[in-house]
Structure 1
């Protein structure tokens, strides 16, 4: 997939979705060590090197492993993020390849989030 296809979401848009959307599925693709230092509320931790396998799982297996319902391929608000933005973009591309047509990357990533949220 071309990287130009990757849709991005801004801090403001993500903040709005966190406040009002029941459909938001936010995936933190950082390492466990990074997540342990802080995370965006409501995010699901799926490390980058396991994203393709995770989103290829059958829904029952996904729920058993991650404790949440696997989003459908047409999930309207599937957002990936990492610490600086690059890994989130890679994960978004992997999701597209698996058929997740609305996947987006929070390009500001956790670094921007923590700065704006005062973490």
Structure 2
């Protein structure tokens, strides 16, 4: 598989400002606790597959956030270096999240 489509930080800022993107930090809880992008939901990549297959109510209870819908327009995943974010992006696509763009936040 080729690399995932990416979103630049300026583009992401404008998507978040307009409420059109959902941002997922797929690093470990410890990494995310040390600092993350405001508005990002931390779901470690090791949990992502089961999280995206949960019933919406279970997802809400566990993550205190609305479960993304298959048709959501912009789902953006990120990690430290890009490897886990790429894994997460491909996983979401494989699970049917194809309603819009599933993208990886471009590295620094």
TM-score for the superposition, normalised by structure 2: 0.91
Match of 2:82 in 1: 85
How far did residue 31 of structure 1 move? Answer: 0.8
Q: How does 1:4-83 map to 2 (within 5 A)?
A: 4=3, 6-20=4-18, 22-83=19-80
Q: Secondary structure at the match of 2:91?
A: helix
Structure 1, unmatched stretches of 5+, are 113-119
Structure 2, unmatched stretches of 5+, are none
- Greater strand proportion: 2
The count of residues paired between Structure 1 and Structure 2 equals 106
Match of 1:3 in 2: 2
TM-score for the superposition, normalised by structure 1: 0.83
Aligned CA-pair RMSD: 1.1
- Greater helix proportion: 1
- Structure 1 runs of 4+ with >4 Å offset: none
